[in-house]
Amino acid sequence: MTFRVAVYWGCVIPTIQYSYEMSVREVLPKLGVELVDLEDASCCGLPVRSVNTYASVYLAARNRAVAEKTGLEDLLIPCSGCHLSLSEAKEYLSEDEELRRKVDSLLREEGLELKDSVRVWHTIDFLHDFIGEEKIRKSVKRHLAGLRFAPHYGCHILRPSSWERVDNSEDPRKLDDLLTWLGAEGVDYPEKLDCCGCLLLLSQPDAAFSFAGLKLKALKELGVDGLVDCCPSCHMMFDMRQKSLAATVGAKLDVPVLYYTQLLGLAMGIDMERLGLQLNRSPVDEILQKIVH
């Protein structure tokens, strides 16, 4: 039986982080999920948060309303920043009637209505809690035994725990579990909860590169096979910009970085190119050899 889920991609995934979109679109149908794209989605509001919080809450509410128009009960948000923004809007709108009234009136101008009818998921809790261990273990064709990965959860799916978030804020385990179900090992490390610094790119790029660079540098001493992430902004830092990180922190960095969905796809036996693995800039070839051959 196929289960239909609305999917909201946000900005970063469909405009540059193609490998995340490709791998999500490949793996979920194999687990019995049909993805329904939104008509007329827009930015989630997070990039507007610093300039005008009111407008950012409106944008987040708008995308919730657009998702509700599908009539589906579940909304998958693979981007952690979008997931935070849409969760934040839900909180603030539920506790501030005047804000809710203002936002509702803006939504009406586009013929939209917010009913709070969708359940919001991120890739990690969707796979872990909704799809579950049994289905994922069954889908594995290439067992990843012997491979050790450092899981990077990122900030925005974990905090603040006073809102509905994806995993425990101080001791997240879901991505670790997901790695275990593929036969691989998720390694604990002191820098596990460290921020990638991506949101500092706009104002303090050197500091941003240091955040991510120091994390990868610490990983080198851990002897892991790579870093596994699940947020397009984090991935942009660790994978796409790894050379800049290395230059900033003055270290040789050669850490393979993959999205969890890419790794899952590999374990399922899906062709590398269909998972966007040709787009990873970090040195993933060695790891691919270990898995595919």
Partner 1 sequence: MSTLDLMTTKKPDLALRAKVLSKIGDHRPYNCFQCIRCTSGCPSMKMLELKPHEVVSLTRLGFIDDVIESGILWACAMCLKCKERCPQEVAPVDLILALRNLAVETEATVPESFLKSVSTILETGFVQKPQRTVTRKMEKVDRDKLGLPRFREASDRFKTVLMKALGTF
* Residue 58 touches partner 1, criterion: CB under 8 A: yes
Given 30, 100, 106, 185, the residue binding partner 1 (CB under 8 A):
106
* Residue 100 touches partner 1, criterion: CB under 8 A: no
Using CB under 8 A as the binding criterion, the count of chain residues that bind partner 1 stands at 64
CB of 92 to partner 1, least distance (A): 6
Q: Would you say 108 or 143 has its CB closer to partner 1?
A: 108
Pair 91, 140: CB distance under 8 Å: no
Check residue 188 and report its DSSP letter.
Answer: P
* Residue 16 touches partner 1, criterion: CB under 8 A: yes
Binding part of the chain for partner 1, among 68-76, 173-181, 182-190, 203-211 by CB under 8 A, reads 203-211
* Residue 52 touches partner 1, criterion: CB under 8 A: yes
φ, ψ of residue 53 in degrees (nearest 5): -65, -35
C-alpha neighbours within 13 Å on the C-beta side of residue 70: 23
CB of 45 to partner 1, least distance (A): 9
Pair 14, 47: CB distance under 8 Å: no
* Residue 75 touches partner 1, criterion: CB under 8 A: no
* Residue 48 touches partner 1, criterion: CB under 8 A: yes
* Residue 168 touches partner 1, criterion: CB under 8 A: no
Which residue, among 68, 70, 61, 72, has the nearest Cα to 109 in the 3D structure?
A: 61
Which residue, among 245, 248, 236, 239, has the nearest Cα to 283 in the 3D structure?
A: 239
Measured distance CA(186)–CA(144) in Å, rounded: 12
CB of 94 to partner 1, least distance (A): 13
Pair 219, 208: CB distance under 8 Å: no
Given 5, 6, 27, 59, the residue binding partner 1 (CB under 8 A):
59
> Residue type for 171, please?
D
* Residue 204 touches partner 1, criterion: CB under 8 A: yes
Q: Assign 270 to helix, strand or coil.
A: coil
* Residue 192 touches partner 1, criterion: CB under 8 A: no
CB of 180 to partner 1, least distance (A): 26
Pair 269, 12: CB distance under 8 Å: no
Rounded to 10°, the helix 242-249/205-220 angle is 90
Measured distance CA(127)–CA(129) in Å, rounded: 6
As given in the structure block, the two tokens for residue 88 are 């934040």
Binding site for partner 1 (CB under 8 A): 11-12, 14-16, 18, 21-22, 25, 37, 39-43, 47-55, 57-59, 62, 92, 96, 99, 102, 106, 109-110, 155-156, 159-162, 169-170, 193-195, 197-200, 202-204, 207-208, 210-211, 274, 276, 278-281, 285
